[in-house]
Structure 1
């Protein structure tokens, strides 16, 4: 899909530094790294982060995986692009770690009499199809024009997963590699679904930061 011409937030970071994606204790610098990496993955650069820089970052992610930049997003607020991508990344990791378990919970959720946040009759896509789009976004195969659709579908999938028989918790073990303030909150799946909904609406209007 063609890249959007909607003006975007400046990357605030030079290409050489962003390419290393090294964490920084300075919150402003960390936020700059997170935003630069997130927008570059969507194919968006600016005066200081050129098309060639964007292409190199996306090629790197396709070669070695999104983990190389994902940690830069972990402290980003949910109403930002890096915060939304972090939530998609956690879903991506959970699914690929144990697809059978997550698919089973999704099937259980679809049989639930009520799925919070979704009107009956519930119409959702197969989880595997949703995850294929999430994976494509996190590989840099899609653009910011695709964001709202992927975020909205991931939100709906979260709501179905929350309705599964094992309850609304996401990650319960504090030693789990996916243990994070996003995944271990009370009713974490539903809270994350709400956050992805918000991000999807912002993306649709071109105001996701």
Structure 2
């Protein structure tokens, strides 16, 4: 499935320029950068990212971390690829920053008699395995062919995390938290994000996720 897509406006890989774009709040240019970097990370070429540019992007991400590009996805709608990758990034970052807390929530949710959005009996995977897959996607180790099942797996994780009675769908409640974005601080954030990732997975499966 990895192939050249319809050319979009040129994106600019340089992180400083990307920061300037966000500061200028140019929606069209920011959207172009977000889409181009997101698809390039998955190995999909366009008029800006050819094979060499994709290799460079992946090298930068693997050496410096996906944070160097993830910030340009943060304002992308949930029904787009950069919006979906942003949600995966937030989940992975949450786990890596607070592994014990997230694992505890996951264990509690796994014991719930009812996990909203999942049919019983629920087959619960190891949390670390799913995060490893998300990390691999965000490093550029995988391709767009892997996108739908990773989005689905992440959505299931979020539903399990939401099922614990102690937390009731909360994600980030402290506004000063480094991960306090509109995605993570809204009401029932975990369930709503799971719904969005499931919708993105369905689009990815049929090749219509933009």
TM-score, length of structure 1 as denominator length: 0.94
Decide whether the 8 Å contact of 2:170 with 2:188 is kept in 1: yes
Instruction: Kindly report the root-mean-square deviation, in angstroms, between the aligned alpha carbons of the 2 structures.
Output: 1.3
> Gapped runs of 5+ residues in structure 1?
none
The 4+ residue runs of structure 1 with deviation greater than 6 A are none
1:22 to 18, 28, 32: 18
Q: How many residues align?
A: 204
Aligned to 2:54: 54
Q: Matches of 1:44 and 1:11 in 2, distance apart?
A: 12
Q: Matches of 2:208 and 2:7 in 1, distance apart?
A: 13
* Residues 61-106 of structure 1: per-residue CA shift (max 9 Å, x gap): 0000000000000000000000000000000110000111111110
Secondary structure of residue in 1 paired with 2:171: coil
Aligned to 1:166: 167
Decide whether the 8 Å contact of 2:36 with 2:46 is kept in 1: no
Aligned to 1:117: 117
Decide whether the 8 Å contact of 1:137 with 1:143 is kept in 2: yes
Q: Matches of 1:137 and 1:51 in 2, distance apart?
A: 18
Post-superposition shift, 1:48? 3.0
Higher helix share: 2
> Gapped runs of 5+ residues in structure 2?
none
Post-superposition shift, 1:19? 4.0
TM-score, length of structure 2 as denominator length: 0.93
Q: Matches of 1:169 and 1:201 in 2, distance apart?
A: 25
Q: Matches of 1:49 and 1:73 in 2, distance apart?
A: 17
Q: Are positions 1:108 and 2:108 aligned together?
A: yes
